[in-house]
Amino acid sequence: MVVPELDTLVRPDDCRRTPPGECAVITTGLTKRFGRRVAVDRLDLAIPAGSITGFVGPNGAGKTTTIRMLLGLMRPTSGSGFVLGHPLKEYRTYLARVGALIEGPTFHPTLSGRDNLLVLARLAGLHHRVDPVLDRVGLLRRAKDPVRTYSLGMCQRLGIAAALLPDPELLVLDEPTNGLDPHGIAEIRRMLQSFADEGRTVLVSSHLLAEIEQVCGHLVVIEDGRLVFQGSVAQLLAARAPELVVRTECAEETLRLARIIEGVGRTARVLREGDAVTLEVGADCSWAGALNRLAMTAGITVVHLAQRDSTLEEAFFAIMGSDPRPGRGTAGDTGTGTGGGGGSGTC
Amino acid sequence: MLILRAFSSEWVKLRRRRLWFGAYGAIAGVVVLTTVVTIAGAASSAGHHPAGTLTLATLSRATGLSRGLTQSGVLLGAVALSIAAAQFGGEFSHGTLRNLLVRAPRRASLIVGNGLAVLSFLVGAVIVAAIVDIGAAVAMAQVRDVATGAWTTGSAMASLGQIVGDMALSVCGYAVVGMVLGVVLRSSVIAIGAGLALLLPIESIISSAVPSTARWLPGQLLDSLAQGGSAQASFGAALVTTSIYLAGIVVLALVAFTRRDVTT
Ligand SMILES: Nc1ncnc2c1ncn2[C@@H]1O[C@H](COP(=O)(O)OP(=O)(O)OP(=O)(O)O)[C@@H](O)[C@H]1O
Ligand SMILES: [Mg+2]
């Protein structure tokens, strides 16, 4: 299978053009309704073969529902797709080459780790794979113990071992880092990288971008069942323009400057952290001189002026259309709160 | 092929020591209790008794050996139904079904193979019950001075064999009801509750209110099967009617299982 060059943002039209075979997963207009609620809304995915693709979205975005449709567990309401070159309807054919951990690991608590895997292995004639995959995730020594004695991290690893049973071309891991400490998350990331190094395609979901972003070459971001972004991490960063960060001698003047900047048609976001007020101006450093002149004309002294490139997290929230971090307005909004009171700074 | 694989996969779960002790222990307990109570409660042979009263003289015949087993049909059925419902409903409750279906996406074959495994486990339980029953009956015969000469004859063995067969059929019927409820209700607890409520209190209320319905109630029919035919229905009639019922609900469960989204 060929890894497609996804130089540009993959738009729905591109998805339809991508021939099956170049991507491990392609969907077109994939939709799932539960009664009146639309859980997945006309999703067009294109997951490059051989990539580690992060599948990111807040709780309830529709990640698990999408994954269940790809695995033949749920019937799409409408839309179509291909997995490993086979149409979604032929899931019985392609699932032999797919390993999955869906919505966290689930096992029989009184059975040992090995027996839990054996239940699955016997279904597909894969007995010989049980010990190798246990070894692979570092559980061989605890394989005889009942799963109810396992820690959460061990359960996640057993779930990954189960997914590895068929030596899969496509690994679908739904929230494998859920509930893990930073050390455990780093360990999962290392595993993901090693799976990709073996030539597998990895589709890994998380509601926290930061947990998986380091290893993902490709990202799919969904919200409310809809595709918000699809492309490489570099493209995600590029999706948000750089900003000028401006501070003046006091809060009052900063707010006044914000109004002046908006008066000339630029965006200026006000960020308050305690008494300090900072502006984020929608411009790059080429506009810094003009900004400085505007301030001087108004008798405002700028004490800090610098360009800042957005972090991945900011780019992510910009795309999601909301920024839950404290002290932040709605990202991408134009000039919020410039007229609002509350500035307590005194000159 | 997948049916065989599903059969052997299910046995990994069935060979849990807890389940063995739990299930076989419960069944042995039921049979011992029934046998002890039956033989202890038998009227001594002297004197006149109302028709149908079990006497020690009756017990000393060839069929006396398996008398307790015959009496424990409903209780064994209840245990079988519960185990089967727990085994199938548990896949939904535990959320482990989705893992099975990714490895074995042919849902009908998966469920048939798993179901056959559960049935084989329960047939084993009936054989255990028969062995336990023999022990309990022999012990009780000593206590009550029942003449056991006829118990070691060929006809005693034949009658025991037949009863084990009838009982196995009946237990399989109860188990199929349990599995169907597990699959349709998608929860072990709800399935066990619904199954026991339906077959025990609800049926006895219906049949005592309208006695003529007894010939058609599944629980009564399964009990008739266990006894090799009863006042309500002959063995043949019970076999035909339960087969039709079970075929119907199995088709229903298969359709539900293969068509519904897996959401747990
Ligand atoms: N079986 C179901 N019946 C009704 N609604 C459902 C069902 N499964 C999911 N939903 C709804 O579909 C939406 C998407 O849910 P889904 O589990 O796919 O989200 P998710 O992105 O996996 O979230 P999380 O990060 O919390 O796991 C939610 O609004 C959820 O309530
Ligand atoms: Mg989810």
Minimum CA distance residue for ligand 1 atom 17: A64
- Is residue A56 lining ligand 1, measured as CB closer than 6 Å? no
Q: How confident is the model at residue A331 (pLDDT cuts 50, 70, 90)?
A: very low
Contact B261, A75 (CB under 8 A): yes
Mark yes or no for CB contact A106/B98 under 8 Å.
yes
- Cβ–ligand 1 distance for A92 under 6 Å, the answer no
Q: What is the pLDDT of residue B31?
A: 86
* Domains along chain A with CATH numbers: 6-238 (3.40.50.300), 243-346 (3.30.70)
The string of pLDDT tens digits covering residues A63-72 is 999 999 999 9
Interchain pair B99, A106: CB under 8 A: yes
**A63 Cβ below 6 A of ligand 1:** yes
The interface pTM score, or ipTM, of the predicted complex is 0.88
User: Which of B1, B7, B18, B99 is most worth mutating to test chain A (most A CB atoms within 10 A of its CB)?
Assistant: B99
Q: Bigger pLDDT: B73 or A109?
A: A109
The predicted-structure confidence for A260-273, as pLDDT tens digits, reads as follows 998 888 888 888 88
Residue A34 in contact with ligand 1 by CB distance below 6 A: yes
What DSSP string describes B181-230?
HHHHH--HHHHHHHHHHIIIIIHHHHHHHSGGGGGG-HHHHHHHHHTTS-
The rounded Å distance from CA A252 to ligand 1 centre is 46
Residue A142 confidence (pLDDT): 94
Q: Which residue's alpha carbon is at the smallest distance from atom 27 of ligand 1? A: A59
Residue A138 φ then ψ, to 5°: 75, 30
State the nearest Cα–Cα gap between B175 and chain A, in angstroms. 21
Q: Are A291 and A246 in contact (CB under 8 A)?
A: yes
Q: Is B142 in the pocket of ligand 1 (CB under 6 A)?
A: no
| Alpha-carbon separation of residue A234 from A9, A14, A43, A118, A311 (angstroms) | 10, 18, 22, 42, 11
Tally helices (H) and strands (E) across chain B.
Answer: 13, 0
Contacts of A103 in chain B (CB under 8 A): 95, 98
Q: Which residues from A are below 8 Å from B5, CB to CB? A: 122-125
Tell me if A98 and B102 make a contact (CB, 8 A cut-off). Answer: yes
Q: How confident is the model at residue A239 (pLDDT cuts 50, 70, 90)?
A: low
Index of the ligand 1 atom closest to the CA of residue A68: 18
- Closest ligand to Cα B262: 1
Q: Does A12 have pLDDT greater than 60?
A: no
pLDDT band at A240 (very low <50, low <70, confident <90, very high): low
What pLDDT does A333 receive? 34
Alpha-carbon distances, residue A140 vs A113, A121, A133, A154, A337 (angstroms): 9, 16, 9, 11, 58
Q: Which residues of A touch B102 (CB under 8 A)?
A: 71-73, 95, 98-100, 102
**Pocket of ligand 1 contains residue A65 by CB under 6 Å:** yes
Contact yes or no for B56/B146 (Cβ under 8 A)? yes
Pick the closest to residue A113 from A153, A154, A167 (CA basis).
Answer: A154
Ligand at shortest distance from the CA of A66: 1
Q: Are strands A268-273 and A276-281 parallel, antiparallel or unpaired?
A: antiparallel
Q: Please give the pLDDT value at position A322.
A: 56
Residue A337 has pLDDT above 50, yes or no: no
- Contact list, A115 vs chain B (CB under 8 Å): 12-13
A57 lines ligand 1 (CB under 6 A): yes
CA-nearest residue for atom 29, ligand 1, is A60
Give the residue ranges of DSSP H helices in A99-228: 113-123, 130-136, 152-164, 182-197, 209-212
Helix or strand holding residue B145 (H, E)? none
Closest CA to B238 of B73, B38, B81: B73
Q: Taking residues A190-202, what's their average pLDDT?
A: 93
Contact A115 B263 (CB under 8 A): no
Contact A119 B263 (CB under 8 A): no
A324 pLDDT higher than 70: no
Q: Which residue positions in chain B have pLDDT lower than 70?
A: 45-52
User: Using a CB-CB distance cutoff of 8 angstroms, which residues of chain A are in contact with residue B94?
Assistant: 106-109
Residue whose CA is at the smallest distance from ligand 1 atom 3: A34
> Which run of H or E residues covers position A23?
strand A23-34
Chain B nearest CA to A113, separation (Å): 12
Flag if B103 and A120 touch (Cβ within 8 Å): yes
Contact check, Cβ <8 Å, B105/A124: no
Region A56-68 average pLDDT: 93
User: Percent of chain A, pLDDT > 70?
Assistant: 82
- Name the minimum distance, in Å, from the CA of A318 to any CA of chain B: 32
Ligand 1 binding pocket mutation candidate from A30, A31, A45, A64 (most atoms within 8 A of CB): A64
Q: What is the pLDDT of residue B118?
A: 95
Phi then psi for residue A74, to 5 deg, are: -130, 145
Confidence of residue A323 (pLDDT cuts 50, 70, 90): low
Ligand 2 centroid distance, CA of A13 (Å) = 27
DSSP B48-86: ---TT--BHHHHTSGGGGGHHHHHTHHHHHHHHHHHHHH
Q: Which residue of B has its CA nearest to A123?
A: B5
Query: pLDDT tens digit string along A263-299?
Result: 888 888 888 888 888 898 888 888 888 988 999 999 9
- On the question of pLDDT at A338 being above 70, the answer is no
Cβ(A346) – ligand 1 distance below 6 Å: no
In B, which residues are within 8 Å of A110 by CB distance?
16, 18
Predicted confidence at residue A8, as pLDDT, reads: 37
End-to-end CA distance of chain B: 27
Query: In degrees, to the nearest 5, what angle opens at C-alpha A207 toward C-alphas A138 and A166?
Result: 40
Residue with tokens 């073996």: A198
Q: Does the pLDDT value for residue A342 go beyond 50? A: no
Q: If residue A252 lies in a helix (H) or strand (E), which one and from where to where? A: helix A251-263
CB contacts, 8 Å: A121 with chain B: 103
